[in-house]
A and B are shown apart, each in its own frame.
Chain A
Amino acid sequence: MKKLLIATALVALTAGAGLAQTVRMGTEGAYPPYNFINDKGEVDGFERELGDTLCAKAGLTCEWVTNDWDSIIPNLQSGNYDTIIAGMSITDERDKVIDFTQNYIPPAASAYMALTADAKIGDGAVVAAQIGTIQAGYVAESGATLLEFATPDESVAAVKNGEADAVFADKDYLAPIAAESGGALVMLPNDVPLGGGVGMGLRESDTELKATFDAAIQSMKDDGSLNVMIKKWFGEDATTF
């Protein structure tokens, strides 16, 4: 038994030779510019750059993993990865089952996008949103009929093919799509502030890792590098800290 313990201790020591603990970062990979799979097949986007910077600051080795949005919280809990860094807004409901670091994106507006500027969004309208998002929860309570999709891309496609009157999502996600649609899609003017900003999700038992990332995010807020990164990915008009 003692030998076994020594052996495991040795393995643990040699594994940590670079003094680096491996942290598996779970993301969705389908929500540009937050996170997406680039043409090389790697995870890319604001959260990739942010995550890599945070890991470098905290001296951690980070490995990127993609997971369906639907099951992203259960898979964190069962230990398939150690963090969720996937544009996840901090809400009370989620905070009951997982922990969040302090936010790395300030509370930002959600917005509607539709084919025409006079599209209906209230009673009697059909509004698309991604399943399990705060936007889907908001639409369900707004009186409109909610149409849920597994990926954000599919919720946009539903507006294009007329299945839904409008799509409701983070403004930062929709704005580039509307801008590049050549006038086919327009943003509606009524923005809705939702959630407590975007933070990293962690298991409730991982208090140490949470403190590490909290400190790293704080240092990026203090030296202003986080604001620079937000502007780089979300444009000059983006809300910063």
Chain B
Amino acid sequence: MFAYCADPKSLEGLAWLACYLTTGKHMGLYWSFGTVLLLLAITAPVALAFGFVGAMAARSPFLPARIIGKGYTAMVRGVPDIVFFLFFVIALDQGIEWLNHQIRCPDWTEPIRQGLEFRVCPQAKVPLGSSPQYVHQLYGFGLAVMTFSLVFGAFAANVLYGAMQAVPRAQLETAEAYGMNHAQVFRRILVPQMWVYALPGLSNLWMILIKATPLLFLLGVQDIVYWARELGGAKTSAYEYPHPDWRLYYFLFLLVFYLGFTKLSEIVLDRLTARLSRGQATAAGEAMRKAGA
């Protein structure tokens, strides 16, 4: 990074620290914050979409859709997150490779499962064994997004299902009296009004999602907790910057990061609640109306 960092052993004090904090390894740590934020930015809307579809399916008058919707939420909600993370990713990964194997190597005669090994033909590996490391990392990240979305989508589905049920029946009846059909009532009346009922539950989920990001390491993505542990561990002079056990400071930094991030989320969510309560037939909406009058 800096020119004077060429010989770290001769440095002292702040110059040493400046060089230490800009090593390639620390860049890995800084990048991993981006990874976590990107995961949140993609997962949150995807999970919400899963939840929305799940809730719609669970409310559907069509029996098979109802079974799928309710089955999805019941299954994911009933299995511990960590088990789901470990099981689902392996199952998904091997499932993709198995399908790919059937398509690409129909002439392959060896069994795919050999004892504990899972062995598809080399052309069916996803990603290919010869692809550069960043492709593997991208694939791992994609699997992580998929898993997080499925898990949090199930919780969101339940929250949205409850919120849809909470919209006063009188509102929907009025809309029907105006001659709107089922889809119109859903789109124009039910969905705009349900958010205020869903928000407390959804904001809870968002907080839990933020705190669940360290599970990324389980999925082979090098997240901030991985780097904090790796960087904080005691280093002998095999490394350029030897230091004693500094994990306390690194984890303290993570603590501050997570606390700051959740605090910021709370502020934003509070504002959103206020915005959505305006004009609603809820206690908060009523209080707002009175304050304004």
Give the size of the chain A interface in residues (CB under 8 angstroms): 44
From residue B94, how far is it (CB to closest CB) to chain A in Å?
7
From residue A153, how far is it (CB to closest CB) to chain B in Å?
4
Q: Which residues of A contact B247 (CB under 8 A)?
A: 157
Q: Which residues of B contact A36 (CB under 8 A)?
A: 238-239
Contact yes or no, A153 B238, CB < 8 A: no
B23 within 8 A of A: yes
Contact yes or no, A77 B233, CB < 8 A: no
Contact yes or no, A37 B230, CB < 8 A: yes
From residue B135, how far is it (CB to closest CB) to chain A in Å?
11
Contact yes or no, B236 A32, CB < 8 A: yes
From residue B2, how far is it (CB to closest CB) to chain A in Å?
14
User: Complex: how many Å from CA A144 to CA B94?
Assistant: 41
Assuming the contacts A12-B123, A41-B24, A203-B119, asked whether A180 and B133 have C-beta atoms less than 8 A apart, the reply is no
A176 within 8 A of B: yes
Give the size of the chain B interface in residues (CB under 8 angstroms): 41
User: Complex: how many Å from CA A78 to CA B125?
Assistant: 11
Contact yes or no, A205 B114, CB < 8 A: yes
Contact yes or no, A39 B117, CB < 8 A: no
B116 within 8 A of A: yes
B241 within 8 A of A: yes
B211 within 8 A of A: no
Contact yes or no, A177 B234, CB < 8 A: yes
B132 within 8 A of A: yes
Contact yes or no, B130 A15, CB < 8 A: yes
State which residues 96-152 of B face A: CB under 8 Å: 97, 104, 110, 114-120, 123, 125, 128-130, 132-133, 136
New A-B pairs, 9, CB < 8 Å, besides A33-B238, A64-B133:
A36-B239, A37-B230, A38-B240, A39-B8, A41-B27, A63-B132, A77-B118, A176-B236, A203-B117
Q: Top 3 nearest A-B pairs by Cβ distance?
A: A40-B24, A153-B233, A41-B24
By a beta-carbon cutoff of 8 Å, the part of chain A in contact with chain B is 8, 11-12, 15, 21-24, 29-30, 32-33, 36-42, 45, 61, 63-65, 67, 74, 77-80, 82, 97, 151, 153-154, 156-157, 160, 176-177, 180, 203-205
